Amino acid sequence: MAKPPRAWQRMLSGRRLDLLDPTPVDIEIEDIAHGLAFVARWNGQTQGDYAYSVAEHSLLVEALFARMHPKCTAADRLTALLHDAPEYVIGDMISPVKAAVGPDYSELDKRLTAAIHIRFGLPAMTPTRLKQRIKKADNVSAWMEATQIAGFTEAEANKLFGRPNRELIADLGIHLRPPVVCRHAFTDRVAVLLEQM
């Protein structure tokens, strides 16, 4: 009988994360932050000396979400910050690749998300309304990234992500920082939100 393929990954924390059956006890924020700080958005096709990381993107989405919903809870903000957290092990696939891979990618993402959420005291499944609100902030972030560092025209970005409210993004920008800086910013923000919960 053939040996089944390995479906776990050793994390820098020493944890062994089983991708087929992830458990909250194998989730560490330092592993998430480290992984996301090294995962490039837009398949790395962005301008600048550093890749635009998923960690940086997540920080922007959480800031946008909070501006869009000023009465949201710390738990809602943490959910927004962790919206792409599974990508610390499965990477950031652009939408066309996700569509080509099919439902298996989505199932893996759901399992990892549930384990991550439980680890940090959040509901395993994000309520639909909250998920929709986070997606709107995610689209604003994508529009900003597309027009500022990914070479899209505003017209292209408007078609793909919708035109954002200019007042919402007026003083926000895209930051290209070394991975170590992104990693610390991400873990610091998680710590602040956990304290507020």
What's residue 16's pLDDT? Answer: 93
What's residue 89's pLDDT? Answer: 92
How far apart, in Å, do the first and last CA atoms of the chain sit? Answer: 49
State whether CATH 3.40.50.720 applies to domain 27-196: no
CB of 31 within 8 A of CB of 12?
yes
What's residue 98's pLDDT? Answer: 72
pTM: predicted TM-score of the whole model, two decimal places: 0.93
**What residue spans define the domains of the chain?**
27-196
Which pair of tokens denotes residue 142? 């994508």
List, for the chain, all residue ranges whose pLDDT scores fall below the cut of 70: none
- How far is Cα 127 from Cα 108, in angstroms, rounded to an integer? 18
Distances (CA, A) of 66 to 22, 45, 143, 180, 186: 29, 28, 17, 25, 16
What's residue 123's pLDDT? Answer: 97
